[in-house]
Amino acid sequence: MTCDKCGHQRTVGDTNAPGACPHCGSVQYTINRCSHCRLDDLDYVRSHSASGRLFERVLELEFDAAHFSIPWSDVTAEEVRGLQILKEERDRYQREQAHNNQIQLPRPTE
């Protein structure tokens, strides 16, 4: 993690409760990614590939459609299909989570 005030970098056991910076006492910090973190690869692909940029655009469109009025003439057929796939995948994930939660619930005794 890096202290937002003085820039001191340190490793902590729990990033949810890192405590104050040992150099300046600040409690404002940024959590850094490990050098082997795959999220850096994901970020790179999302910003440097056509499919990654499409995914980013679909996420923006989803938000805009939910909160603002956007002209659908500005949305390509590829983006519409991306929105459909995103909805299908989210629905499938929610069904799987609901199913997994049902399995973990204790059965009532009779």
- Specify whether the CB–CB gap between 33 and 39 falls below 8 A: yes
pLDDT of 7: 93
Whole-structure pTM value:
0.59
Helices (H), the chain: 38-48, 50-67, 77-104
Domain boundaries, the chain: 49-104
pLDDT tens figures, 47-95: 999 999 999 999 999 999 999 998 989 899 999 999 999 999 999 999 9
